Structure 1
Amino acid sequence: MQPPPFSCGHATFVGAPNAGKSTLLNRLLDHKLSIVTPKPQTTRKKITGIYHDDRSQIIILDTPGIMDPKQSLHESMLEITRRSLRDTDVIVALIPLQKGEEPFDRAFADELIEQWVRPADKPFVIALNKADLVPEETVHQVQNEIMERYHPIAVPALSALTGSNIQELIDLLRPLLPLDEPIWPDDILSTEPERFFVGEIIREKIFLQFGREIPYSTEVVIDEFKEQHENDPSKKDLIRCSIIVERNSQKQIIIGQKGAAIKKLGQAARKEIEELLDRPVFLEIFVKIRPDWRKKKNLLKSYGY
């Protein structure tokens, strides 16, 4: 008996900030890969997650949310999304459902599909996220409207938060991918290095701990990542990083009175980093001022944008 055909290819998640792209990626992988916070624009760079099962390997690209660019950083984030859409095999446009008279943002959905998805000229699915927030009748009405309005291949309704109908999305994507052998071993969840995720964890803790503009005006740079446990298991890995801010007042907020805020930040980040790496680390955090770094293309390039 012939084994079922195997599919392998790229699927790009695209949508507004806070549409649930990162939560969906984490749910599909059953692992926290993308950082998630209640604040929009948490994801700044493309994050690659690799889903495996016995019939497919889906290389998922979680992209920054589409927004009106206010500075060079936003333009760089949007260019990451454009490149991901060009290089993918299939697109998942994620539209969140919402309570109230309007079950979804039609104006943004028009922009998303007409200005971003269609120009990429790839097969696309429109997934309705947060379907658990609205009545089933509303879900069916929206599915019919979206199918008539945009003509995607399918309109699955799911909840990235609860995990409902996730398998339906996988079953829809599989036949849209090339028939091919897996590219990556089945124990690999991402192509990004450990130091990338260490920086993302620290950024997440900044988003969760500080309010207003602080999270948006910061960047995290890993200056040193020394794996010392390999030669001596009693030694902790050494991680030195810099939190980049734009003004001295922001630096003072991150450090806090008598260093209390940065100590709290470091403790929260170290705990999760140790869980990620499954080994103890020594984490040192410095705060550096780089005025208007979000507007300077040379600095953005050096930070990986």
Structure 2
Amino acid sequence: MSSTSSRSGAVAVIGRPNVGKSTLVNALVGAKISITSNRPQTTRHRLLGIATFPRGQLQLVDTPGIHGEQGKRSGKAMNRMMNRAARGALEGVDVALLVIEAGRWDNEDGLAYDALHDAGLPVVLVVNQVDKQKDKTALLPFITKVTEGRDFAAVHPLSALKRSGLEQLVATLMDLVPEAEPMYGEDEITDKSQRFLAGELVREQLMRRLGEELPYSTTVEVEKFEEEPSPKTGVMYRIDAVIWVEREGQKAIVIGKGGERLRDIGKHARQQMERLFGAKVFLQTWVRVREGWSDDEAALRALGYHD
């Protein structure tokens, strides 16, 4: 086997909500393609991150967190669709990353491991957020306990946020994916359109800036995404985004007093878009009511949700 041959393969990134899957994908890709917040349901869509290295290419499938029995019991169409998207991510992949939080292993982590093991995939355990672990001496006993009786191809403690431990993880993944030519060009970082990414960046600000429950009743639809020439950056984007809520009272909360909160959401989303697109962005946002959209599969599909 030639050591100079290129390697390329698909890697499913699986775990319960809020263990840092999207942060890990962004760190490996080297660009922000998956939105992040400290709330469950931040990632609602299956998204492909393309990470190209000297040895080859990894196609990283970032998924909604597997919501386990609690997610099934909630009965919401949104939760059912997200669970199907997460489990569907296992089809056609070469290796899986099971991402867990350092110092914590619960029933949902066990369910995720079982799903991966049953699929017959090599499973690499990523113990994320080791930078938050106050007692570093507890890490090794924790890993020993988690790996006992379970079959992992490798174990990698790391911090996706601090970008530490990533090189060793990439080396392991390159050994596990097959010899093949890259599927995408070196400059490609995701299979999603800029229009999709723009909507996600608005939704990220909703997740970060609204109270406990409200973000789960909101979604974003990009109604206009137009490209214009710009003398300064070469190109400029005009984007119209609608924030959908489920009740009239929620609309007032998103807009805020005198429209202050909506302006704040728009400003921060626009700054993130300009950073990602490398161009000037003119963003306009509106808030509209669509009752029961999150529990209506037809409405979810119309708003761009797929399983």
> Is the structural similarity TM-score above 0.5?
yes
Q: 1:218-233, aligned counterparts within 5 Å? A: 218-229=218-229
> 1:100 — aligned with what?
none
CA contact (8 A) 1:146 1:155 kept: no
Asked if the contact 2:50–2:189 (Cα under 8 Å) also holds between the matched residues in 1, the reply is yes
Using a 3 Å threshold, how does the CA distance of structure 1 residues 59 and 240 change in structure 2: closer, same or farther?
same
Listed as ranges, the gaps of 5+ residues in structure 2 are: none
The answer to whether structure 1 residue 81 and structure 2 residue 78 are counterparts is: no
Percent identical residues: 32
> TM-score, with normalisation over the residues of structure 1?
0.92
Deviation (angstroms), 1:3: 5.6
Q: How many residues are matched?
A: 298
**C-alpha distance in 1 between matches for 2:230 and 2:298:** 36
CA distance in 2, matches of 1:190, 1:233: 22
Q: TM-score, normalised by structure 2?
A: 0.91
The 2-side partners of 1:182 and 1:37 are apart by 31
**1:91 alignment partner AA:** A
Alignment partner, residue 59 of structure 2: 59
Distance 2:104 2:222 in 1: 39
- RMSD over aligned CA atoms reads 1.9
What's 1:144 paired with?
Answer: 144
Q: Deviations over 1:137-158 (max 9, x none)?
A: 3222223223322111111111
SS in 2 for 1:223: strand
* 1:93 equivalent in alignment to 2:88: no
Counterparts of 1:122-141 in structure 2, within 5 Å, are 122-132=121-131, 133-141=133-141
C-alpha separation in 2, matches of 1:153 and 1:17:
23
Q: Which amino acid aligns with 1:206?
A: L
1:257: Cα distance to partner?
Answer: 2.1
Paired amino acid for 2:89 = S
* Amino acid in structure 1 at the alignment position of 2:59: I
Counterpart of 1:215, as a letter, is: P
**1:126: how far off?**
1.3
Taking the aligned partners of 2:252 and 2:106, their CA distance within structure 1 comes to 42
Runs of at least 5 residues in structure 1 that lack an aligned partner in the other structure: 98-102
Residue type of the alignment partner of 1:15: G
How far does residue 201 in structure 1 lie from its aligned partner after superposition? 0.6
CA distance in 1, matches of 2:38, 2:230: 37
List per-residue Cα deviations over 1:251-275 (Å, max 9, x = no partner): 1111122222212221221222122
With over 3 angstroms needed to count, the CA separation of the structure-2 counterparts of 1:158 and 1:231, relative to structure 1, is: closer
Q: For residue 161 of structure 1, what is the amino acid of its counterpart?
A: L
1:147/1:154 contact within 8 Å kept: no
Amino acid at match of 1:84: A
The amino acid of 1:266's aligned partner reads G
1:163/1:278 Cα in 2 relative to 1: closer, same or farther (>3 Å)? closer
The separation in 2 between residues aligned to 1:21 and 1:222, in whole angstroms, is 25
**Using the alignment, how far apart are the partners of 1:257 and 1:135 within structure 2?**
44
Deviation readout 1:155-198 (Å, 9 max, x if unpaired): 11111122221111111111211110111111111111111110
Deviation at 1:248? Answer: 0.2
Q: Shift of residue 127 of structure 1? A: 1.2
Between the aligned partners of 1:149 and 1:275, the Cα distance in structure 2 is: 45
SS in 2 for 1:150: coil
